[in-house]
Structure 1
Amino acid sequence: MNVDVGTLAGVGLAIVLLMLSGFWTDRTYRRFDMLPGHYDIAGRATRMAPRRMMAFLLPVLFSAMMATFVILAGVLPRDMQNGDPETGLWVMIVAFLGAQALVLWLLGRWASRQG
């Protein structure tokens, strides 16, 4: 395998955190049937979707992407890889957790305006 155990642990922790954020979102905003699925550049909600879908869409998508990257890094021979897969995984971890944090922040702003 071309991925270090520490990096695998980081990916596992990121997946757990992402899924926990989905459960937290679903529980925290259960009073809403619909949650924003898209925001404009000013941070205003522009599209609504069912609460459960929006609570788990990004965590599941991000987790699947990281798992696929880990599998491919383990399966592909080192000479077919361009660069170090561990660096790519750490960039993914930081980017995906940051993106989820941004979405949760925007969602909190939206919910506070709903009363």
Structure 2
Amino acid sequence: MPGIFALAVMLLAILALCGSALWTDRHYQRFDQIPAHYDFRGKATRLAPRTTMAWLLPGIMVAMLLGFLILLTVIPAELQNGDPSSGLILMSVIFVLTQGLILWLLHRWARAQA
């Protein structure tokens, strides 16, 4: 079972991901569609409905964090190699940073539309 600190970091990551999805959906209401895909240069190559894209990746990330936590509680400690807390913390931080990158790309795209 992961430690209290790892669970706290995961909970903060879940709150940040859900908050970013809610903020994205409300902040970009002037657009019916927002980018769903970017190329290597950061240029939007495909658009999708705003609400879908605002919640899709944060929802997947939250589901993965919760799934990882469930696996950590179900798998016996003797089958786990080391302390799982570091993995949970690393996943949480990477997901929040990934969402930050996506929001930065979305902001650049929205500025170019004005």
Greater displacement, 68-77 / 78-87: 78-87
Give the corresponding residue for 1:113.
112
Amino acid in structure 1 at the alignment position of 2:112:
R
1:84 shift after superposition: 2.2
Give the corresponding residue for 2:84.
85
Amino acid in structure 1 at the alignment position of 2:45:
T
Q: Does 1:11 align with 2:5?
A: no
Please identify runs of 4+ aligned residues in structure 1 that moved more than 6 A: none
TM-score, normalised via structure 1 length: 0.96
Once residues 14 and 53 of structure 1 are traced to their aligned partners in structure 2, the CA distance between those partners, rounded to angstroms, is 20
- Residue correspondence of structure 1 range 27-46 to structure 2 within 5 A: 27-46=26-45
Once residues 18 and 46 of structure 1 are traced to their aligned partners in structure 2, the CA distance between those partners, rounded to angstroms, is 24
Give the % identical residues.
Answer: 51
Amino acid in structure 2 at the alignment position of 1:17:
A
Q: Any stretches of 5+ residues in structure 2 without a counterpart?
A: none
> Root-mean-square deviation (CA), in Å?
0.8
Give the corresponding residue for 1:98.
97
Q: Any stretches of 5+ residues in structure 1 without a counterpart?
A: none
Once residues 82 and 112 of structure 1 are traced to their aligned partners in structure 2, the CA distance between those partners, rounded to angstroms, is 47
Aligned length: 114
SS in 2 for 1:82: coil
SS in 1 for 2:34: strand
Which digits, 9 at most, give the CA deviation of each residue in 1:31-69, with x for residues without a partner?
A: 000000000000000111100011011111100000010
1:6 shift after superposition: 1.7
TM-score, normalised via structure 2 length: 0.96
